[in-house]
A and B are shown apart, each in its own frame.
Chain A
Amino acid sequence: MNRALLKEITRQVARLCQESNYGIREDVHNSLYQAAGEESGLSKKILDILLENIEIAQRERIPVCQDTGICAVFLQIGPGVEIEGDKLGEAVEEGVREGYRDGYLRKSLVSDPLFSRKNTGDNTPALIYFDFELPFPNRIKITVFPRGFGAENMGKIAMLSPAEGEEGLKKFVVRTVREAGANPCPPVVVGVGIGGTLEMSARLAQKALLRPINQSNRDSRYAQLEGELLKKINELRIGPQGLGGKVTCLGVNVEYFPTHIAGLPVCVNINCYALRQASSVVEID
Chain B
Amino acid sequence: MRPLKIQAPLDEGILRRLSVGEEVLISGIIYTARDAAHSRLIELLKKGLPLPIPLKNQLFYYTGSTPCPPGKIFGSAGPTSSYRMDSLTVPLLSRGLRGMIGKGQRSEQFGRLLRQYGAVYFLAPAGAGAYLSQRIKKAELVAFRDLGPEAVYRLWVDEFPTLVGIDTKGRDLYGVRTNLPFS
Which B89-146 residues have C-beta < 8 A from chain A?
A: 103-105, 123, 125-131, 133-134
Instruction: Assess A53 versus B128: contact at CB under 8 Å? Given A104-B75, A183-B83, A244-B180.
Output: yes
**In chain A between 218 and 251, which residues have their CB closer than 8 angstroms to a CB of chain B?**
236-238, 241-244
Structural contact, A62 and B75, CB atoms closer than 8 A? yes
Q: Which of B19-70 contact A (CB under 8 A)?
A: 36, 63-69
> When the two chains form their complex, are residues A242 and B75 in contact, meaning their CB atoms are under 8 A apart?
no
CB distance from A47 to the nearest CB of B (A): 10
Q: Decide yes or no whether B7 CB sits under 8 A from chain A.
A: no
Nearest A residue to B178 via CB reads A244
Contacts of B64 in A (CB 8 A): 66-67, 106, 108
Contacts of B164 in A (CB 8 A): none
A241 touching B123 by the CB < 8 A rule?
yes
With a cutoff of 8 Å between Cβ atoms, the chain A residues found around residue B179 in the complex are 237, 244
Contact digits for B161-183, partner A, Cβ 8 Å, 1 yes 0 no: 10100000000011001011110
- Count how many chain A residues have C-beta atoms less than 8 Å from C-beta atoms of the other chain: 43
Interface SS of A by simple majority: loop
Contact A243 B125 (CB under 8 A): no
> Which of A49, A61, A104, A153 is within 8 Å of B67, CB to CB?
A104
List residues 103-144 of chain A with CB under 8 A from any CB of chain B.
Answer: 104-108, 117, 119, 121
By the criterion CB–CB under 8 Å, are A105 and B66 in contact?
yes
For residue A238, which residues in chain B have a CB less than 8 angstroms away from its CB?
180-182
Q: Report A220 CB to chain B, min CB distance, Å.
A: 30
The 9 closest A-B pairs by CB, nearest first: A53-B131, A181-B182, A57-B130, A185-B127, A53-B128, A66-B129, A63-B76, A56-B130, A183-B104
- Can you sample 17 A-B contacts with CB below 8 Å? A50-B128, A53-B127, A53-B130, A53-B131, A57-B129, A62-B75, A66-B75, A66-B77, A181-B174, A182-B174, A182-B182, A185-B103, A238-B181, A242-B182, A243-B173, A243-B177, A244-B177
